[in-house]
Structure 1
Amino acid sequence: MSILTEPDRKKIAAARIWAVNRQPYLARALFACAVHPAPGSGTIAVDRDWRLHVDPDLLAGFDPAELGRLFIHLTSHLIRDHAARAEANRVAEDESRARWNRCVDAEINDDLRIDGCLPTVAPDLPADLGAADGLLAEAYYQVAAAGRRRWDCGSGADAGDRPWDGQGQGSPGRRDGSPDGLSGSRGDLLRLAVAADIQRQHGTEPGTVAGGWLRWAEAVLPSRVDWRRVLAAEIRSAISAAAGAVDYSYRRPSRRGRAVPGVVLPTMRRPVPEVAIVCDTSGSMHDGLLTRALAEIDGILVRAGLRADGVRVLAVDTAVHTLRRVSRAGQVRLAGGGGTDMGAGIAAAAALRPRPSTVIVLTDGYTPWPAQPPPGIRVVVGLLRDVVQVGGHGNPPVWARTVVIEAEA
């Protein structure tokens, strides 16, 4: 029986470290998979019991970074329980399993591409199946044509037994929960732990977790992040950064200049932070969401301490319909109701004079976003989520600070 050599094991260890550095919230899952040699398999794959099977002859063709990308990809199949979902969708024939494998690859890879973790050996994306990003494998399976899979990801992806699945300490061909495998409830507990790690990462560093992982974690484990506290912290941070900035100004000369005849000295100027709020008023924002948006505007004004001077609020769908300075939520007039393009609202806010230091976007997320942030402006996205809308939001850009605003219980 072929074994993994010491250089092979070192490469696998280096690949795991690379993967954890790129996606630390998946660390538990990445290190939970026991590694077994699978000579002659022609693949590197996972089985349903969280075992990673490696053909030693393939390792020479991988550097640690590419192997780390593949490990993230394969582990993602286990985290999202693609094998059980294959059974639920009655994926049984070999041709159907190959098609399902491509679909679950596409579900994973649109997020991995954003994070720079797309594996070159299993590169299927939603566009390759003729579908849009951000959907589940079940949706892709309805539209994908039959075809050969790019990479055999193993029974952990499609529930089809492989000859190498029984290798290791367990009995051949059985899902027996051997000491180096995780089956049944132990695998479910690990998924819950990973979901908690994803939510923790998003709560402490918003914008660092891909939208697909957030949606998965929310479906598995309801959020325990206090979005009001996170939103208030983001706004205070953005405003204090502007308020703490100082610069020299000759608008009001320094009194010290009087001591030096003929010399005009500048004074230090501390700008007053300007805040603009872009409120989504498109057709997808029904009355309940609009009411909550107004309530959040009121809370933002109080927390920011800007009620006296007021803030500017822009009502936007695909264009800016109203713009006015308000000091309470009741002064906001929500107009619009058509399509959605928050990029138009952000651009309009950036063009205001005086220029805002902070732009807060309140939206349900069904919108395209600009590729780049407005220069010198911090953008905070309040993603309004209705309890009846699960997993349908677009992903806010990574350059924005995103806070998911939960529906009231």
Structure 2
Amino acid sequence: MDKLLTARLHAVRVRPYLAAALFALHVVEDHSVPTMAVDAHWRCYVSPGFVARMSVEELAGVWVHEVSHLLRDHHARGERYARENEEYGPGEGLRRNIAADFEINDDIYGDGLPRPAGAVLPSLLRLDSGLLMEEYLRRSSMSGIVAQRLWLDCGSGAHGQRRPWELGPDGAHGLTRQQRDAVRFRVAEGIKGRPGDAPDGWRRWADEAFQTPQPWRQLLGAAVRAAAGAPGVGENHSYRRPSRRSASVPGVVLPSLRRTPPRVCVVIDTSGSVSDAELGSALLEVAAIARAVGGRRDLVSVVSCDAAAGVAVPLCRAESMELIGGGGTDLRSGFDRALRARPDVIVALTDGQTPWPSAQPPCRTVVGLFPRVGRRVNERDPDYVPDGPPDWARVVTIG
């Protein structure tokens, strides 16, 4: 036990942002555990023989490895993957364990933590590093290494299948769901407070740990509908259907107040910084926008824009629409072209690496923003960072 706790202190010294999680684990000695393992309730099961064979530095790496399974919620993610894909076979737990190890082993070692012998890496199957457990499971059957790693078992905290040595939800010294979330929150706050101390994988985890991914398709459709149905947009008097108030004024026909379907112009960023996949996604969003305004495709037009804007093309079939561009980016010309059609709503689908109009357009504006992380936006000026979308636009991040 002294050697094990010394290794934990070493792990805290070299990975201080994980201290709250490392000290939250309760150690359970068990000779039936192959090495070290964790369950979903933050108990760490340890084999005394395994501790005797390892050095303090290697044990510190195993500490970090096991707590990484819990912080990244591999238990719940493994159960969800098995349920969605109906994979409950005897070897599926080991597959999920290996995929979870691929996710965390690519960047937790080094800088004071030597990689233990037998640690699996994505390169063993010629897979890219930096992916998630679910992506590794979808990309490979892992048949080449499963038979060689039958001893590998990090517990239900890594793959979601309860093991014989685990105490279960009613056992002693387990953490409640609220306590587990509190530990994750403290770790995430520590990483975000000193981001230079953590690898890229941990920084991404900290950014997303308590931010539920938003259903951006629903958000974009709701933003378009809200903009198109706002008070004052499309309201007009019409004699096609007399007002019900005409009955109170004999001999006089009063017009009724009708709402004209809104006209929507979609400005698509076709510059070289937007990928083909994003352009394909933009066309799908154009079709969704047409549905959001009642299916009236004749009221939806599209402007392709890189450094210069093309002609506003009426929407027939979004799937067969040709997008022209590939140069620089200046959506100001796209907005100018769109305003010539006098739309009620302008929807701009862009990566945001563009100058924006200096004045607010006389209609409502929705910006669908393709996210950009860590990409240099101007090779001639590496310190250049584009301005964000203006305050007068409703912004929805796509993807």
Provide the TM-score with structure 1 as the length reference: 0.51
Residues 194 and 283 of structure 1, relative CA distance in 2, 3 Å threshold: same
Q: CA deviation at 1:131?
A: 2.1
The residue aligned with 1:139 is 135
Structure index of larger Rg: 2
- What do the CA deviations read for 1:17-44 (whole angstroms, capped 9, x no partner)? 1111221111111011011111132221
Give, in whole Å, the separation in 1 of the partners of 2:398 and 2:117.
37
Tell me the percent identity.
Answer: 34
Unmatched runs of 5 consecutive residues or more in structure 2 = 213-270, 280-327, 329-354, 357-372, 387-395
Deviates more, 1:185-194 or 1:208-217: 185-194
- What do the CA deviations read for 1:71-128 (whole angstroms, capped 9, x no partner)? 0000000111101111101153331111111100010011214656463245222222
- What do the CA deviations read for 1:200-228 (whole angstroms, capped 9, x no partner)? 122xxxx32111111111112359xxxxx
Instruction: Say yes or no: does 1:35 pair with 2:27.
Output: yes
Q: CA deviation at 1:155?
A: 1.3
Residues 116 and 124 of structure 1, relative CA distance in 2, 3 Å threshold: farther
Instruction: Say yes or no: does 1:69 pair with 2:61.
Output: yes
The residue aligned with 1:53 is 45
Give, in whole Å, the separation in 1 of the partners of 2:374 and 2:13.
34
Which residue of the other structure, out of 345, 360, 364, is the alignment partner of 2:383?
Answer: 360
Residues 102 and 115 of structure 1, relative CA distance in 2, 3 Å threshold: farther
RMSD: 3.5
Matches within 5 A, 1:208-219: 208-219=197-208
Residues 84 and 132 of structure 1, relative CA distance in 2, 3 Å threshold: same
Instruction: Say yes or no: does 1:181 pair with 2:174.
Output: yes
Q: CA deviation at 1:15?
A: 0.8
Matches within 5 A, 1:5-404: 9-90=1-82, 91-113=87-109, 117=113, 119-145=115-141, 146=143, 147-148=146-147, 149=149, 151-166=152-167, 174-176=168-170, 178=172, 180-202=173-195, 207-222=196-211, 282-284=273-275, 360=383, 362=385, 387-389=397-399
Give, in whole Å, the separation in 2 of the partners of 1:36 and 1:55.
9
Give, in whole Å, the separation in 1 of the partners of 2:64 and 2:8.
9
CA contact (8 A) 2:191 2:197 kept: no
Say how many residue pairs are matched. Answer: 236
Residues 343 and 221 of structure 1, relative CA distance in 2, 3 Å threshold: closer
CA contact (8 A) 2:61 2:115 kept: yes
Residues 49 and 131 of structure 1, relative CA distance in 2, 3 Å threshold: same
CA contact (8 A) 1:110 1:126 kept: yes
CA contact (8 A) 1:86 1:100 kept: yes
Provide the TM-score with structure 2 as the length reference: 0.52
Deviates more, 1:157-166 or 1:75-84: 157-166
Residues 126 and 60 of structure 1, relative CA distance in 2, 3 Å threshold: same
What SS is found at the alignment partner of 1:36? strand
In the alignment, residue 283 of structure 1 is paired with which amino acid? V
Unmatched runs of 5 consecutive residues or more in structure 1 = 1-8, 167-173, 224-279, 288-320, 322-328, 331-339, 350-358, 364-385, 390-409
The residue aligned with 1:316 is none
In the alignment, residue 60 of structure 1 is paired with which amino acid? A
